Structure 1
Amino acid sequence: MRFRFAWSSVRTLGLALTLVGMSVSTAHAQGQPWTQPAGAGVPAAPPGQAPAPSPYDPSMQAGGLAPPPPMQEPPPATEVPPSETEQRLDDAKKDDSGRGLEFFYFNVEGGFQQVGLSTFSANEDELTAGLVSTSASGGMVGAGLGLRLFALTLGARARAGFFSNYQLFSVGGEVGLHIPLGRLDPHIDLGFGYAGLGSVTGAISGVEDAVSIRGFYGRIGGGLDIYLTRVLSIGANVSGELMGLTRPGLSAAQVERLQSGSGGDPQQVRADVLAADGSSLGSALAITAVIGLHL
């Protein structure tokens, strides 16, 4: 009986010692801080220098692994100096007259005009029957208006040339291409429209009013405008025209009146010519000064 009691006491004492040993080991393990394995994470600082702080939250490190170091920002791009051509363009913009956009234009012109009604016709008298000279020179005036969008213009132009025996009128459309160069504005123009002679007076009285000469023209021209201000310019134009003109034949009554008039054979010849239709290809050259308004 005593033996059993002694053995039970020994077992109880051994169990108590075991529990005490386990408690001491657990407490010792919890008191030791965790250390990162060598060679992992942020490299060690050189001797004598404080280690650099980690850019990451320590909670992100686990099991000896660490996030990669932050990416370096690329160096700023080096500014390339402008080329000589770009520098000239920038200087031209700075030196521009500041005209801005232009939407409407109106101009008037005046100058000299040389006309040949039958320049490209074999028979010069077919059109006028010798009533008036087919070649003449004199003064002329004109006006034009229209729209402008950047370098392109679209509008209308009318002209009147004044000569000794008749006037030459023309009216039609016009398109132009402009090249703005600061205050300078060179341009090329193309036009097409109606042309006609008015107030034809000649050697045969009573018939000249019945003579009607009309047709079409095609014009090409160019010039240079100088902008004095944003809205006012002066310049000069040179233009050439090709004219296709026709003359309807006189009626029988008009021919009879012409034949019964005073005169001889020359008048009879004119009557025969005027009784038939006439046509010719003519030309005109004009040199004008221009004043323009731009809005």
Structure 2
Amino acid sequence: MKNTAAFLAALTALAAASSSHAQGLAPPPPLPPSPPGGGPGWGSPQPNYVPAPSYVPPPAEPEREKDSGRGLEFFYANVSAGAGLVGLTTFNSSDLALERTSAVGPVFDVGLGLRLLILTIGPRLRYTALSPYDLWQINAEVAFHIPIGRWDPYIGLYGGYSFLGALSQDAIGTRANSNDVHVRGFDAGLQLGLDYYFTPHLSFGGEFSSEFLAMWRPSVDGSADVEYGKSGGSAGFGGRLLLHGGIHF
């Protein structure tokens, strides 16, 4: 009995000590709330945290002008058509003795030649169809070009031999036979033009040209007319607007 009582007394003392120790423990304090706008705490960035910069693509390079792809050119040929004005006595008549000396009509020509970088040189044959007469010209021309991409503006000089063909009786009048009257001379002029190269070998463009004409008429043998019985001449003007197409190699 004494042993049993002692065991119960020890068990009671142990339980009392455990209960007293448990009452002395306190729960941990709650975490402070997260401040507005972030900060240290739940899920907020640390004070020294630097966010990674967002990806910024590099600036695009400026678009370069496309190469015209024309390459070197050594030979050209072109044909033209348009309208022209011719006045054989614009500056001086000097007994040319034609009844009609000015007219407007269609113009056609063909030319070819060599190109040396920015210079072109070659011959050109031109025909102007006018009601009183036909004007034929065999010229040599040289031009200075300024290539700008596919555009090709130019300025040039030309000159050569001119003559009238197929004079109508209306131009001569009744004082002589048209087959016996011949008028020839020379021309010298300036041309301004602009071409566009659709391909390295094909172009299309336009041109304006103006020229000085110096013409001379020999006397008509056996003519009873005072004027046609002696020679005469004139100083005149020619101008034209043309469209042309060309090939280039």
8 Å Cα contact 1:201-1:209 kept in structure 2: no
**Residue 210 of structure 1 is aligned with which of 156, 180, 196?**
180
The equivalent residue for 1:201 is 168
Q: 1:255-266 to 2 correspondence within 5 Å?
A: 255-256=223-224
1:103-134 Cα offsets, whole Å, 9 max, x none, are 000000000000000011055xx21x24x311
SS in 1 for 2:147: coil
Q: Could you tell me the TM-score, scaled by structure 1's length? A: 0.60
Deviation at 1:173, TM superposition (A): 0.7
**Overall identity of the aligned pairs, in %:** 40
User: Please, which runs of 5 or more residues in structure 2 have no aligned partner?
Assistant: 1-60
The equivalent residue for 1:288 is 242
1:167 aligns with 2:134: yes
Whose strand fraction is larger, Structure 1's or Structure 2's? 2
Whose helix fraction is larger, Structure 1's or Structure 2's? 1
The equivalent residue for 2:67 is 96
Paired AA for residue 291 in structure 1? G
SS in 2 for 1:274: coil
The equivalent residue for 2:210 is 240
Deviation at 1:159, TM superposition (A): 0.3
**Cα distance in 1, alignment partners of residues 117 and 129 from structure 2:** 35
SS in 1 for 2:148: coil
Paired AA for residue 190 in structure 2? I
**Cα distance in 2, alignment partners of residues 276 and 169 from structure 1:** 24
SS in 2 for 1:209: helix
Paired AA for residue 140 in structure 1? V
8 Å Cα contact 2:90-2:236 kept in structure 1: yes
How many residue pairs get aligned? The number is 186
**Residue 77 of structure 2 is aligned with which of 106, 112, 118?**
106
8 Å Cα contact 2:176-2:228 kept in structure 1: no
Paired AA for residue 161 in structure 1? T
Instruction: Using the TM superposition, name which of 111-120 and 198-207 deviates more.
Output: 198-207
Greater relative contact order (Cα < 8 A, sep 6+): 2
Q: 1:44-123 to 2 correspondence within 5 Å?
A: 91-92=64-65, 95-121=66-92, 123=94
The equivalent residue for 1:70 is none
User: Please, which runs of 5 or more residues in structure 1 have no aligned partner?
Assistant: 1-86, 257-270
**Cα distance in 2, alignment partners of residues 96 and 205 from structure 1:** 64
